[in-house]
Structure 1
C-alpha cells in the first residue's frame, strides 16, 4: 500500500491455451488493441455495464476481465497529461508533459508506449484518434499507421481496417463522443445524453472486438484488449455516495479493463473507508518449505547488542497462526539455532502456549495460547531502565511480560530470517505481515494505541526510526520489499505462494493509505501490462511508476 515501482514480468503469459491443446506461439501471436474513451466516469461506466445493462458488451467482457471501475487518475490539470500517463507508464514528475507545449517533455527518457514497442520489438504500431492531445503526443513518433480522424465513426472504420491486417501488432484507438456530450450536456448518471453516449461507445467496442474475433488466425493468436478512460468528468455526486475521499472526485474517476478470453473474472474494488478490510496477499510459511532471508551483510543494523550503550529497539509484526507445529518453531530470527543459547535474537512459539522473545538464552514470554486463524500483533521492546537493559513483550498492544537482559548478546553474524529458521521445533504454519523494526523503544501508550494499524507512513513521528518495514502483502514476486528508506528486501526461497486475504477483526484497524489511487488499477499501470504481454525484455530498467496486477487464468 505504498507508491513504488513494480516492473514485474507476467509469469503466466505463455501457456494460456486450453489444457492439452497444441498452441503454436511466436512473437507475432501476441497482439494488443488499446481503446481509450475520453471523459468516461469509471463508476458510471461500471453501473451502466453491470447493473443497468446499458453497456451489455462491456459487461460481458468483465466475465473474462481484470478491471477497476474506481480507478483514480493523477490530479492533472491538462488532458494531455492524462494521456501521457496512459502512454508512458510514469507520472508527470517524470514524463513532464504538463501542457501541449512539449518542449520540456521528457519523452526521450520515458518513451510513449508505441515508440517503445517499435524500438524494442520492431512491432507494427498504429494510432487512430480524433483527439488533439493524442495527435500532439504522437507528432514525432514513427508509427506504421498514424491516422488523425474527424469523428468517432471514422476512427472505428479505420481501426477495423487496421485490426483486420495479418501483421497488425499494437493499435491505439480513442473515442471522444462521451467527453463532447459531457461538456455540452453534463457528465454523470443523471445526464440522459451522457448515458446514451456510453451505449454508443459500447456498440463501438463490440464492433472492434468482433473484427478481431473474425480474424482467420484468431484462435491461435493471443489478444489483449485494454479499455480505459483518460479521466472522468465534473458533476455533483449524490451526497449519500460522497465519502469525502478521492473516490468522490468524479473528474479523477476513470476505469481500466484488461480482457483476454483466457482470463477469469477479477474486479479490483475500491477500499471501503467506512468499514475497511485488511487486504493483501501474503506468504504462508509452513515448516522449511519457504524462507525469507535478508543476507547477513545487509542485516547488521538489526543486531540488538548487549549493553545499555547499544541502544534501544522495537520489533513488531503481524501473524496469523494456521498450525502450531511441534515444540517451538521460529517466527523471525537472527540466530543460528533458536533452541540454543547462541548470540542473536528471535520470536519463537512457546509450545502450545503463546510466544517468546528470545535474546541469547534469556527470554520474555507470553504464555497465552494463540487462537488459530486469527491475526495477532506481536511486539518486543528492548530498552534501558536506569542502566539495566530490559525486554518487554506485548500481544495486541497489551503488555504481558518483562525480562532483564543485561549482557545477553543480541548481536550475531547470522542473516535475518522470516517465516522459518533452524529451531527446536518444526512444521509451524503461519502468515506474517507488517514487520517493523525501529531503532528506538516505542512508548507503551503508542504501542497500545497503534498496534492494530496496518500501515505506517512518513507522517508518523517514528518513521525516521524505522530500520526496516516490510508490509509483506505485495502478492507477487520473489522478494518481500522493504518500504522504509533503507530498502533492504528479503529474498524468498523454496515454495513461494502468495495467498490473498480480505479481513476484518477486532485486532485490526486498517489504515487508510496516503495514496488511495494505488489500490486500484491506474493509468500508469497499463503500459507495464502491455510490455509484459509482448514479452518486452528489461522492463525493470524502464523505471516505470507502474504496479503489476496479476490476472487470474481459466483452465478451459
Structure 2
C-alpha cells in the first residue's frame, strides 16, 4: 500500500517521462528502488557494436528486430543520428580511435591501422587518475583487443560474439565486478564486409539489420544478468551502447552535412534504470541559427553606433568616369558589386536615411545607397544629367534579414554607358542604363550610416552585416547561390569570387566585440581599410563615441550561416562518451588531452537521484 501511495504522488510530478500506469506496474513488481537508496560512485558497462549504423539500428528497432534495445529506450538518452567523426569519411579504425580516446585529434587518419594510434584511451587515463579503478575487457577482434585491452585488469580475447557475451556474463554473475566493463561485438561488421553495409546512402542492407538482431539478443542476456546482481541498484550502472561508425559505403558521397554521410552515422545510448527517456533527433537545415554580435546603427541621441568610417584609405571603392564623348579620354570600364545584409526594425515614415556611401552630402560627387522616404532603397550617383537615382520599388523595412546586391556591369566599346542591376534576396528586381559622363571619384571616405545632418534626427534602427565590395560584376547565378551565405572568409578559395572580394566586413563576429572599428576580413585586409565608429564626415559630427553591439541568434531563410560545431552537437557524438564516463566517475578532464566531447545533462525519472 505504501508503494501504491508513493506511485500516485510521483505521477503528479512532471519529471516522469512515462505514464502512471507504467510506473505502477514497475512498482508492483518491486523493481523500483526504495526511498533513501545509497548509490556508489558508479559502474560503467560499454558495449561497442562495430559497423551498426544508427539508421540500421533504427530500422531494426522499428521492425522488432531489436526488442531489447527498444525496451531500454524507456530509460535512456539515445540517438539514431549520432556522429562518429567531425569530417567526411571514417574508417573502422578511426571510429575506434575517436570512440576510445575522446578526441578526433588523435593523429589517426582513415588510412592508418589502429596499431599506429599513439593517443591514450580514456580507459588508460581513468586508471591513471584512480589507481584503484578496475577495468575488464572482452573482444573477438584481435586489433581492437591489442589496441585497447592492455590496460585492463581482467581481459579475454574471444573467438566470436557468443563467447564474448558468455565471458562477460560469467564476470557479471560473480561476486565482484570491475568498475568499467568493455565488450566489443564484431558480428555486424563481419556481415557488412561480406554482404555490404548499405544498399544506397540512406538504406542499410537487410543482412546488417538481421545481424543487429543477433547482437540485441546478446545484450538481452547481459542486461538480464546485470539486473540480477544483488546490489545492481546500489552499484549505479551507466550502460553505454554504441556503434563505432556507420560501416563502409562504396558509392560516391557528397553529403550536404555530416549527418548525410552514411559512414559517420552511429547509434548511441546512455542507459540507467533511473533515467527518463530522451530521443535526440538530427537537426533540420531550417534549425541553423545566424548568431551575430553586431554594431547597432541608430540615429543621433540614441546612444549607439551612428556610423562607421574608413579614415585611412579615402580612395577605396572610388569609381571613375564611365563614359566620355572624347574617344581619347580614358574611362573606368571595370565592373563593381556591392552586397550586404540588412536587418531594419524601425519604420520611420519620414526623410532620407543613409545606408552605405562614399559621399559628403545628399548630392555631389561620389555615390550613395540610402532609404528614400522609408519606402524605397535607392542608389544615387553623380552622372551626366546630375544626380541619377535608381530605386528599388518596394520597402523591406520589415524586421527581417534581407540581402541587397547592386551590380555595375563592365563597360565595353559598344556601350555609351553601362548597366546597373539590383537584386533582392538573390533575385533580380530591376535594372537600367546610366550615362556616366562624370566621375564617381571623391575624397569622401567610405561610410556606413550617417554622413550628413538630416532634416531631423534619424530614427534609424538597423544592422548592416556581411558587407562585400567586389572589383567585378558578380553574375546572377553566383548572387543567387551565395547571397545568403555568411563567413565567406572561412570558405576562402572555395568561394569562386574570393580573389575579387576586395573588402569584406562581416560585422557579426564575437571576436570583434570591444574593438573601436570594423575589421576587413578579405584577403586584402589592412589597417587602412578599417571602418572606425562614430567619426566625422563632412559637416556631420557624431555627438558621442558610444557603440552598442547586439548579441542575437535568429533562424531565417534569408541568411545561410555556415554549419558550425554547435549544429553537430545537438546529438551524441562518439567522442562525447569518454567525457561522459569521466563525469560519471566524477573525475576531472585535463585540457591537455584535447577531448572534443561534451557532457550531457541526464534527466532522471526517479526522485531518488
Which TM bucket (shorter chain)?
Answer: 0.5 to 0.7
CA distance in 1, matches of 2:549, 2:484: 30
Distance 1:96 1:367, change over 3 A: same
Map of 1:175 onto structure 2: 185
Q: For the residues of structure 2 that align with 1:555 and 1:355, how far apart are their CA atoms?
A: 56
For the residues of structure 2 that align with 1:23 and 1:350, how far apart are their CA atoms?
71
Which residue of 2 is the match for residue 361 of structure 1? none
Are residues 1:256 and 2:264 paired? no
In structure 1, distance between residues paired with 2:34 and 2:521: 43
- Offset from partner CA, 1:387-436 (integer Å, 9 cap, x none): xxxxx996424689999795555689xxxxxxxxxx9677x8x9x9xx64
Residues 139 and 183 of structure 2 are in contact (CA less than 8 Å); yes or no, is this contact kept in structure 1?
yes
Deviation readout 1:94-133 (Å, 9 max, x if unpaired): 136855583xx352xx322212233345554333211112
Secondary structure class of the residue paired with 1:257:
strand
Matches within 5 A, 1:146-157: 146-157=155-166
Task: Name the structure 2 match of 1:95.
Answer: 108
| Equivalent position of 2:127 in the other structure | 118
Residue number among 471, 490, 495 corresponding to 1:460 in the alignment: 495
| 1:316 to partner: Cα distance | 6.3
Q: 1:310 & 1:24 partners in 2: Cα distance?
A: 73
Preserved CA contact (<8 Å) 1:264 1:551 = no
Instruction: Give the equivalent residue in structure 2 for 1:67.
Output: 79
Q: Does 1:223 align with 2:238?
A: yes
TM-score, L = length of structure 1: 0.57
Q: Does residue 54 of structure 2 align to residue 36 of structure 1? A: no
Confirm or deny: 8 A CA contact 2:255 2:261 kept in the other structure.
no
Call closer, same or farther: CA 1:509–1:159 in 2, change over 3 Å.
same
Gaps of 5+ in 1: 1-16, 237-241, 272-276, 289-300, 335-346, 358-363, 386-391, 413-422, 474-481, 487-492
Match in the other structure for 2:148: 138
SS in 2 for 1:153: helix
Does the 8 Å CA contact 1:305/1:410 hold for their aligned counterparts? no
- Name the counterpart of 1:56: 67
Structure 1 match to 2:386: none
2:454 alignment counterpart: none
Secondary structure of the 2:120 match is: coil
CA shift, 1:175, in A, is 0.8
Deviation at 1:137, TM superposition (A): 0.6
* 1:43/1:253 contact within 8 Å kept: no
CA separation in 2, counterparts of 1:263 and 1:207? 22
3-state SS of 2:278 partner: coil
Aligned-residue Cα RMSD (Å) equals 6.2
Distance in 1, matches of 2:315 and 2:35, equals 66
CA distance in 2, matches of 1:535, 1:351: 63
Q: Distance in 2 between the 1:174 and 1:542 partners?
A: 24
Counterpart secondary structure, 2:65: coil
Distance 1:96 1:451, change over 3 A: closer
Partner of residue 307, structure 1: 314
Confirm whether residue 449 of structure 1 aligns to residue 475 of structure 2: no
Q: Deviations over 1:494-532 (max 9, x none)?
A: 998867x5x7x5x5789899xx99997655554455456
User: Secondary structure at the residue paired with 2:126?
Assistant: helix
Mark the CA change 1:167 to 1:365 in structure 2 (over 3 Å): closer, same or farther.
farther
CA 1:71 to 1:366, structure 2 compared with 1: closer, same or farther past 3 Å?
same
Instruction: For 1:408 and 1:325, locate their aligned partners in 2 and report how far apart those are by CA, in whole Å.
Output: 29
Change (3 A) 1:555 1:461: farther
Q: Larger Cα Rg: Structure 1 or Structure 2? A: 2
Q: Is the CA contact (8 Å cut-off) linking 1:233 and 1:250 kept in structure 2?
A: no
Which residue of 1 is the match for residue 387 of structure 2? none
Q: Give the TM-score normalised by structure 2.
A: 0.53
Distance 1:306-1:470 versus aligned 2 partners, 3 A rule: closer
Q: What is the CA distance between 1:55 and its match in structure 2?
A: 1.4
Q: Which residue of 2 aligns with 1:342?
A: none
Equivalent residue for 1:203?
Answer: 217
Which structure is richer in relative contact order (CA contacts within 8 A, separation 6 or more)? 1
Distance 2:429 2:65 in 1: 57
Superposition pairs of residues 242-321 of structure 1, within 5 angstroms: 252=263, 254-260=265-271, 261-262=275-276, 264-268=278-282, 277-283=285-291, 305=312, 307-308=314-315
Q: Is the 8 A contact 1:42 1:229 kept in 2?
A: no
What are the Cα deviations for residues 185-214 of structure 1, in whole angstroms up to 9, with x where unaligned? Answer: 665589665433211212233444455556
Q: Which residue of 1 aligns with 2:418?
A: none
Contact 2:97–2:114 (8 Å) recurs in 1: no
8 A Cα contact 2:247 2:263, kept in partner: yes
Distance 1:174 1:407, change over 3 A: same
User: Where does residue 479 of structure 1 map in the other structure?
Assistant: none
CA 1:526–1:325: 2 relative to 1, 3 Å: farther
